[in-house]
Amino acid sequence: MKIKQLFVAFTLSAVLFVSACSGGQDQGSPKKSPTSSPTQTTDSGDSVVVPTPSPTPVAYEGEQKTYSDLLAALKQAYPAANWTQSAKAKDQVNNSEVSFRSKDSCSIYGYQSFQSALDNDFGFFEDSWTTLGSFSQLGTILISADSCIEKTSAVIKYPSFGKPDAETEVLTARSENINYCLTKLSACFLDGGVKLPERSTSSFNKALTELDELAKAGFCVDPYFSGGPGGLNSCEASTDNTGVKEGDLISEVSTDLDILRMAATSPSEQRFGKYMIYGDGWAVFMYNSTESHKQTFVEMNKIIKGTLIAKY
């Protein structure tokens, strides 16, 4: 199966706002998450303060390694693979700096940091899943069969690899965990005792009801739009709403990993727009939203009652 689209988003400041009515299962809590308070809205979107996260990325303090160190470690751990390294542009994907390939088609792409790898991880490439990893301070994206994960896991840390045990928490997309990743960015994926959810998992078994409610309230061109269970659904936004241009899409995602990836991505990565609304197990956004869409997001949040933030 192929993920069709992927997404993004940083520290909740002291004025981070949370939905007054949040639900969901109590699972996958972080060790500590920021406090939050209800969003204050008024009739004028211009007078509403939408909090902008101000993240403080966690600095890597361990031993610094090089791509040559990574290649040597791969050769030692999996010598039969006949690993080769390339820095040629034609051999790279998603802004990677280097690639490593094995004779049995394991493909690993290197980045100067784990944060950079996460920022460039769309969850899929062509018809293959991607798997995010780290090697010392370096970041990696593996594009290959699952067997390659197991064969290289002695060298590269894959936060999503392995089955959780009694001391391991699966980081589900509940609001507290989303807040936590907004605060720590990619470091929330590397916490000790934390495991990322499996691909396409929706822990809250969430139908995309928020998008359905927005459609019924007139935010979509088709008022009868109905969201399906899980994944990503979109409707074309009505140009009757402030800042909306023809072809703008309102999208909702409810898979854990995609939501957490949105939260942990650098604020400078603006490909999913300025504003995001989220709650336990769901997130609503508009590709290419800007300051001009603020009033529309304020009005949408009156309907779906989530946490509204400006991502940058």
Residue 5 has pLDDT above 70, yes or no: no
CA distances from 300 to 92, 245, 284 (A): 40, 16, 10
Q: What domains are defined for the chain?
A: 17-57+201-310 (no CATH), 67-152 (3.30.200)
Residue 14 has pLDDT above 50, yes or no: no
What's this model's pTM, rounded to 2 decimal places? 0.82
Segments of the chain assigned E as strands? 17-18, 37-38, 84-86, 98-101, 107-111, 124-125, 128-129, 131-135, 138-142, 169-170, 194-195, 232-236, 249-253, 275-279, 282-286, 307-310
The per-residue pLDDT for range 279-294, each reduced to its tens digit, is: 999 999 998 899 999 9
What are the backbone angles phi and psi of residue 182, rounded to the nearest 5°? -60, -30
What does the pLDDT average to over 214-230? 83
Pick the more confident residue, 215 or 35: 215
How confident is the model at residue 294, as a pLDDT?
97
Pick the more confident residue, 290 or 17: 290
Pick the more confident residue, 151 or 38: 151
Of 40-54, 214-228, 229-243, where does the model show the most confidence?
229-243
Mean pLDDT score across all residues of the chain: 84
Give CA–CA dist 137/42, Å, rounded.
Answer: 45
The per-residue pLDDT for range 252-263, each reduced to its tens digit, is: 999 999 999 999
In the structure, what pLDDT confidence band is assigned to residue 46 with cuts at 50, 70 and 90? low
In the structure, what pLDDT confidence band is assigned to residue 19 with cuts at 50, 70 and 90? very low
The C-alpha angle 108, 159, 34, rounded to 5 degrees, equals 130
